[in-house]
Every structure is written in structure tokens, then in C-alpha cells.
Structure 1
């Protein structure tokens, strides 16, 4: 197997791990939000991430301003995703959030087609349809979104846009994925802190106050550590690493198992209940992500065939 194919498989496995981690993040974030407001939690989570990643910023000394601007731009998009997503989580069930955010799988091929002029393959469209069918089954076929659900749907659209923009930035950039993650974390932390201050003084909304003490608030701090280490440091580095070596649609589809992990965690950790249709719909989403992980190629005609993983490399 060539080094390029090995890197692709490694990135696929990393993305599946990200799907598992991010699936659990909805339940963990909902627990943390019971102790601390949305903007304050985002500023804390990404501020700690930025501090940990400070050494990765050394590579910025020789970077072009346009390259740095691209990384900051993806950080701004990430901030918008997280604002919609986290406020949505605070207003809906964790399992609902996990399933609805997966609709970015449906939206990513359309955004990619519009921005990057890459037409999705037949297999990718099949995986998209499976994910869409799964989302309909989860909603019971009739879906009237609450305010929280609507925010999660907005986050799904913004996430699809971010994957495509990050793909373009990473493809044209000489920055290491860890450096991009550091810039994104700093942008989100600064944006969240600024929004919290504005909310406090302009709208009299308490989005920033004293942090819970370590003693007696172990659940909160354990949640924060998990969100920083697993859901931010590892997850965003893995996504930036993978999106440079794959297409945005493949990245989105590989992470399509995220809602199933999210529903399982919400059921086991928060006691949320899901119908049989919901579990079946989640299964279709997982199937769609597995389809994306299988190596396919076009034959001499127009059909798509499965390529052997052990075939000799040219």
C-alpha cells in the first residue's frame, strides 16, 4: 500500500474516532451548561485549548498574511457553528442535537459542488440519501423544529460550509494542521469572550460570571477537561489533518456515525429515550458513513466498483 493510501486510511480512522468523540460531546456539553452559560463555556473551553496549543504558533512567523487570514476566517466560521450549536443544545435534547447536526452530511455535497465545483459521485449521493432517510425516520416523518432544533439545523449548514472552506484553506496553505487548530481556537475564544462581555453590558444577559469552584463541582470540570482534550484538541486537529487529504463530502460522510454515538450516550448518560424509528434512522446514518469509508473507483464505463484494499500499488 502506498504512503498516500496509508494516510487516507489513517485519516478515515481518525474521522470515525472524531465521530465517536463529538457524538458524546452533546451530552457532556449539556451537563456543563447546567453549571455555566453558553458564551462563558465556549470562551473557557477554547481559551484553555489555545493556551495548550501556543507552541504551535511558532510556525506563523514566516507565514503569508493571506494564509493567516484564511485560518482566522475558518475560526470565524467555527465560532458561528459553535454559537448556533451550543445555544441549540441548551434548548433541545442532546439526542435531537446529535441527529440534526448530521444533516450537514446532506448539505455538504451541495455546498462543495457550489464552492469547489466537485460533483459528488454516485456512491456519495447514495450515502447522502441514506443519511437523509435516517433523519426523516428519527423525526418520525413529521418534523416541527423548536427554537433549539432550528439552531442545530443552522449549525449543520454552517458546518457544511466550514468543511468546504477549510478544505480550500488547507489545500492552499503551508500551515500545519495543529497551527490551524491553534488559530481557530484563539479566534473562537476571543469571539466568545467578546460576545459574553457585550451580552453582559448591552443585553444584561449573564453570560460571564465566576467559575465554579473545583471542590464540589467535579462533574463540571471533568466535562470541561473532556471537551478541551477530546472534543477540541484531538477532534479539530484530526479534522484539519483529514480534510487536507480527502474531499469535504467524504469527511462529512465518514463522520455520519456521530448521531448514533450521540443518541447512545444521551440514552446511557442522560436517560433520554429514543423510539424504534429513531434507532433505525440512526442505523441508516451509520451505514452511510461506512459506505463512505470503503475505497471505490470508477471503471471504464460509468458504474462504480469496489476496489480491493490489497491490490498492488502502481
Structure 2
């Protein structure tokens, strides 16, 4: 119980890091293209974690084998799909719609868990998912325009993130957390760099006036260390102590933290529906965390009819 609680709190902190750095990333990619930014971000994180692995956790290297490599690469591919299709989707759709569709991974995770992991979510988790989804709608879905191709791309992004949560839960029990994290982050770095060379003006990544500018440099340092290296290591390490559905609900707090930090740091105003949405998402997460007393309802039912 203590391990589960500590894992959930740690994952909530990960969601806070991702949400609070959203403004930093937005500012940075206005100067450096997204794939180039992610290529540098994930490469720097891979170097940091790889260096720590070689210096202090070298014993984990003996677990490196073909299956472990393929597992880490699969996680990296799924993570890259999430980032890549979200980026492409934002070229055609609004950020509000993208935020809601990405958040649908909260609904997808328990569905995937049933079919892929044979795990059925508890009643509290199901109720929490529906409440959190309603909150996501109120928080992000201010755009009522018709669906377009960008929404389809973002939907694929949501599938990628949902499957990443599912398979992280599966593989994290089989391999050392740090080693698995290094492989998946390195995979994202390589794929992001390839797409940057193919679709962006990647030469900007080597321009000192761009990379060393205040907003880009701050964004790269903070996201590389906290939002990538530490965050994904924490997810890989702690997800083994909880369920994929609870992880998805906890990560649904990311847009809440993003909205709050945007309000504090960027002066963005929150509408009444957005505030209600934040409350619903938080409520959904709390409800999913409440313990279920097995047999309470059944016991009352039996006593009532026995009388």
C-alpha cells in the first residue's frame, strides 16, 4: 500500500513537471522547430542517464540483451508517435481540440489494459475515468469546429501515449528501470533527429544564436533534465507499483497543471468552464484512489433480504 501511494505521488509530480514546462516548450519551439528541439532534448537526457548508468549502475548493463533492447525501442517508438503526431496535428487543428483528444488516452488505457494485459479496472477507476474525461472536455474543448485531418493525427498521438503507458507497466517489471529508460529515450532522440533532417530546417539546431538564446536554452536545459530524464525514469521505475488506469488518470492532471502555470506565469485567464474542468479532473483522480471495500454492498443486500 505504501509503495502504491508513493508511486502515485511520484507520478503526480511527473505530471506536474510536464504541465509546468508546457509554456517553456511553447516558447522554445517558436525559435527552434519541434523535431529539432525534441532531438536535442532527448539526446541530452539520454547522455545524462547513460552517464549515470555507466558511472553508478553499471551492474544493470548485464541485463542488456535482444529482448530488453526491443522492449526499450518499442517504448521509444510509441513515445515518439505520441510527440510526432501531436506536433503534426497541431499544424491543422487548434491546441484546445488537440488537448482534449490527447487526453482521451485516459479512456483508452483501461480499454487496452483489458485486452492486452487482461486487467479489469475497478469501479472507482471507471467512475474516475468518466469524470476526468468530462473535466478534460470542459478544460480544453472550447473549439466547436468540425473534425479535420489534424484531429485524426492527434488521435493517433493519444493511442501512442496510451500504449506507452500500457507497455511501460508491462516491461518495467522485467528489466532494470534506468537501463530501460536509457534505451527508450535514445530511440526517441534518434527518431526525432531523423524527422528533423527530413522535414525541418535542422541547421538551426547548430546555430549558436538560436540554441543559445535565452528561451531555447532554458527550455532545453529544464526539459532535458526534469521533464525527460527524471520524468521518464520516474515513470518507468514507479509504474510497476500501480495500475495503468491509475497512471492515465494521474497524467490527466498534466493539462490542469499547464493551465494553472500558464495563469501564474503567462497571465492567461481561466474561464469558469476551465476551472470546473480542473476540479472534475482532480476529483476523478481522487475517486480512483479511494479504496474499494469488497463485499460491503453484497453484505448489506444479504442482511436486508435475510430480515
Residue 201 (structure 2) aligned to one of 197, 203, 206: 206
Residue matched to 1:125:
126
Could you say if the C-alpha distance between residues 155 and 301 of structure 1 is closer, same or farther in structure 2, counting changes exceeding 3 Å? Answer: same
Superposed CA deviations along residues 205-239 of structure 1, whole A, max 9, x for unmatched, are 42442244389712221111111111111211111
Q: Does 1:54 align with 2:56?
A: no
Conservation of the 8 A alpha-carbon contact between 2:79 and 2:161: yes
1 CA distance for matches of 2:68 and 2:165?
17
Conservation of the 8 A alpha-carbon contact between 2:24 and 2:215: no
Question: Greater share of helix residues, 1 or 2?
Answer: 2
Conservation of the 8 A alpha-carbon contact between 1:134 and 1:285: yes
Could you say if the C-alpha distance between residues 269 and 86 of structure 1 is closer, same or farther in structure 2, counting changes exceeding 3 Å? Answer: farther
Residue matched to 1:116:
117
1:63 Cα deviation after fit: 2.8
2 CA distance for matches of 1:274 and 1:212?
37
Conservation of the 8 A alpha-carbon contact between 2:32 and 2:211: no
1 CA distance for matches of 2:145 and 2:209?
41
2 CA distance for matches of 1:275 and 1:223?
27
Q: Does 1:166 align with 2:168?
A: yes
Q: Does 1:27 align with 2:23?
A: yes
Q: Does 1:105 align with 2:106?
A: yes
1 CA distance for matches of 2:212 and 2:186?
29
Superposed CA deviations along residues 94-147 of structure 1, whole A, max 9, x for unmatched, are 666555432211111111112112121111110011012123323259464566
2 CA distance for matches of 1:230 and 1:9?
21
Normalised TM-score (structure 1): 0.83
Residue matched to 1:312:
none
2 CA distance for matches of 1:24 and 1:89?
20
1 CA distance for matches of 2:217 and 2:270?
28
Conservation of the 8 A alpha-carbon contact between 2:97 and 2:143: no
Residue matched to 1:9:
5
2 CA distance for matches of 1:212 and 1:289?
43
The unaligned stretches of length 5 or more in structure 1 are 200-204, 304-314
Could you say if the C-alpha distance between residues 143 and 239 of structure 1 is closer, same or farther in structure 2, counting changes exceeding 3 Å? Answer: farther
Residue 153 (structure 1) aligned to one of 152, 155, 175: 155
Residue matched to 2:41:
45
How many residues are aligned here? 292
Superposed CA deviations along residues 72-105 of structure 1, whole A, max 9, x for unmatched, are 1111111111212344467766666555432211
1 CA distance for matches of 2:29 and 2:115?
36
1 CA distance for matches of 2:257 and 2:223?
16
2 CA distance for matches of 1:121 and 1:143?
35
2 CA distance for matches of 1:92 and 1:26?
18
Normalised TM-score (structure 2): 0.85
1:176 Cα deviation after fit: 1.9
